[in-house]
Every structure is written in structure tokens, then in C-alpha cells.
Amino acid sequence: MLTMLFWLAMPPLFALAVIGGKRLRLLPIVSQLLVAGLLLPLLFVALQSQGFEVRTLVSAPWLRPLYDIGFALLLGHILSDVIDLDVSRQSLKIALPSFAVPLACGMASAWWLLGVREGMSVLGIGLLFSITAIPVLYLFLRNIDYPEESTRRLMHAAVLMDLWCWSLFGLAEGSSDPIQLVWPLLAGSVPLLLRLLRVRHALAFSLPFFGLMIAFQHWHLNTLVFAITWLMAQAAVRQPFLLPVSPRAALALQNYLLVPLVLAFGILQIDFHHALAGYSWLYLGALLVLPVVSKLAGSWLGLRWALPGASRGDLWKESLLLNIRGLTEIVFLNLLFQQGHIDSLLYFSLLLMSLFATLLPALCGVRRARTATESLDHAPARSPSDVRP
């Protein structure tokens, strides 16, 4: 009964945080990260000090299937953004160093600083250093009324980086057991079959996609390879990807149910009483600073290469913007955590890093224009199709 009450309380708690954050001009994901990274850990530490075993809250048999559904829907939504891509030379020049520099730094940090030796874990940590949050970046750019041409350039660079991230991890995951790639690749080719059958209705593509995402997640098959294959096949037949619900409903589902579920489920895996007892501030500081600094350095190099005439102020501002993390990184972080590639201490540290990096542009003076509308809070967290003229 207590478990049921706790999970029923999570959506209202996160909803109150989002509503309160709007009064402080915070994006929804920032408010949600503050709850997950600060409020919930304090609550759990207090409960554990009273002898309550917090991890019993994730022991209910109905919770894991519910989490699988929520995670699959979030992952599918994000990947549908990533595939919708229009590559330009400028965006490619920005993306290459902005992806490669933090990837190399992250893999080196995993090997030498964290002592990680498992190949998938090293790669996963490197990719966490490299990733950019597409929905949150787009909302932030709209929120500060950023010029449309610059928005398009940054969004396409971010989409490229995230496509490389998800594809590399999916292929690396599948290469350890190539047989497991067969079903995801076959299922991902369904859009080609639908095209041969002259099926054109959008729901005939989106409903099976999300249904299979949930099934693959539940049966621990390679969800990433399936999703990327499906979406690339759908793009190849020039069938636009449309969500099966309205944009307003999709945003409400994301902000008030799926994100709270994924964040709270991940945080509950951590034994804060024991983890924080041996927590090193040097360890936390390194994981806060290294991903941010390496991403800023890579983005600066990429922007300098793509925009040789840009001022230092513009390069600094856009480097900060490309360092925004948020929802995309949270989904990837949970993926690594649930597959055992990172431990609970690393999960919590990188969750705090994501919050810090997402707040950094505002802290460094990249402010909202006073004339910018507040309508973006009611817009869906989708990006490339929205930024095209």
C-alpha cells in the first residue's frame, strides 16, 4: 500500500516542481532534475536514517513493466527527433569536434580516473560526456528568442551528435552478440514492407513503432538498433514520423508521467546511506567539471572551424548552449544504469552533472529575451522539424 501511495505521489510532486519552476523562468526538465538530484535524495536519506528500507519501493511486481513502457516511449520519442536530420557543412564541422573531444575525454576518464575496464562501460561513459539534449536545447533557444538561422545550425549539429551516440552504442551492444541483431533489424525493416503494401497512414507507422519499442524493452532485446533501423527505413520511404497523440498530450505525458517515473525509478536504485558515507568530493568535482570542460572545448573548436569570423562572445555563448544536457542524457544514463554499465554512485554524480550543465547557460548570462513568448512551455519537445523555415 505504501509503495502504491509513493508512486501515486510522484507525478503531482514533479508537476508542482514544474509549475513552481515556471514562476522562476525555469524549463520543466531543470525543475525535474532539481527534484531528482536534490529533493528525493534528501528525502530518502532521512527515511533510511529512520530505518525505512527505501529500495522496497521498487520491489512491486507491476513497477518494472510500467517502467519499461515509460522508458520505451521516452526513448522512441527522442530517437524520432534524432533521425529527422538535414545535414549542412557547418553543422557537420561543429558536430565532429564537439562529439569527438568529450568522447575521448570521457573514455580516458573512465579508464584512468574511475578504473573502469569493461568495454561497454568505457564507451558509455565517453558517450555521456558527448551527448547534447535536443528537446531541452531547442526549448532553451526558443525561450531566449535565438535567431532562426543560428537555431537551425545548432539543432542540426546536436542531432548529428546524438545520432552518432545512439548508433555507436546500439552497434557496440549488438556486436557482443550478433545473433541478437537479427530480430531488431528485421522488425526495423517493417516500414519498407508497409511502403510495398502502399500503406500511407501515419498511425500505421507510429503505433507499431511504439508497440514494438515496449516489447523489445520488456524482452531485453536491442531496442536501440530496432528504433534507429525503423526510423531510418521510414525516412528512406519519405514517410513523416508523427506521434500517435497530439503535441500537447505528448508534452503532458512526458513532463507529468514518463519523466517522473524514469527519474524516480533510477534514483531509488541508489543506497544513499552507504553510497554517501564514502563519497569523495574530488570524485564528484571531477565528474562535474570534466564532462562540461571537454564539451565546451570540443564545441569551441567546432564552432571556430565552422564560423571562422565569429566573435569570441558568440563562440562562448554557443559552446555553452551545446553543453546543455537534460532529458536526452537522463534517458541514456538510465539505459547504462539498468544494463549494469555504471554503478549507482556514478549514476548520481552524472545526474548532478547533467543538472549543472543544463543550468550553466543561464548562470553564465545567456538570458531569455524579455520579448520572448512563454508559449514554448506548451510546445512539444520536438526539434528539427520545428526549426525549419
Rg of the chain in Å (alpha carbons): 20
Q: How many residues does the chain have?
A: 389
C-alpha cell at 310: 565569429
CA distance 83 to 281: 39
Chain Cα centroid distance, residue 111: 23
Pick from 114, 159, 152, 165: which is nearest to 135 by CA? 159
CATH number listed for the domain at residues 65-387: 1.20.1530.10
C-alpha cell at 77: 520519442
H or E stretch covering 241: none
CA distance 326 to 26: 12
At position 333, the amino acid (one-letter code) is L
Q: At what angle do helices 2-23 and 259-267 cross, to 10 degrees?
A: 120
Please give the DSSP secondary-structure letter assigned to residue 58.
G
C-alpha cell at 385: 522539424
Residue 120: predicted pLDDT = 93
Pick from 259, 325, 251: which is nearest to 295 by CA? 325
Q: At what angle do helices 63-83 and 223-236 cross, to 10 degrees?
A: 40
Residue 246: predicted pLDDT = 86
Chain Cα centroid distance, residue 26: 18
At position 139, the amino acid (one-letter code) is L
Residue 388: predicted pLDDT = 36
| CB distance 11 to 256 below 8 Å | yes
Pick from 16, 292, 251: which is nearest to 139 by CA? 251
CA distance 145 to 166: 29
Residue 16: predicted pLDDT = 95
Write down the domain spans for the chain: 65-387
Q: What is the pLDDT along the chain (389 residues), one digit of tens a residue?
A: 788 999 999 999 999 999 999 898 888 888 998 999 889 988 888 887 787 778 788 888 888 889 888 888 888 887 777 666 667 889 999 999 999 999 999 999 999 988 899 999 999 999 999 998 887 888 788 778 888 888 889 988 998 898 899 889 988 887 777 777 888 999 999 999 999 999 989 999 999 999 999 998 888 888 888 988 998 899 889 888 888 888 888 888 988 999 999 999 988 887 776 666 666 777 788 899 999 999 999 999 999 999 998 999 999 999 999 999 878 888 899 999 988 999 888 898 899 899 899 889 888 877 654 443 343 344 444 443 333 33
pTM for the model stands at 0.83
C-alpha cell at 350: 552524472
| CB distance 348 to 275 below 8 Å | yes
Residue 304: predicted pLDDT = 96
H or E stretch covering 17: helix 2-23
Residue 112: predicted pLDDT = 92
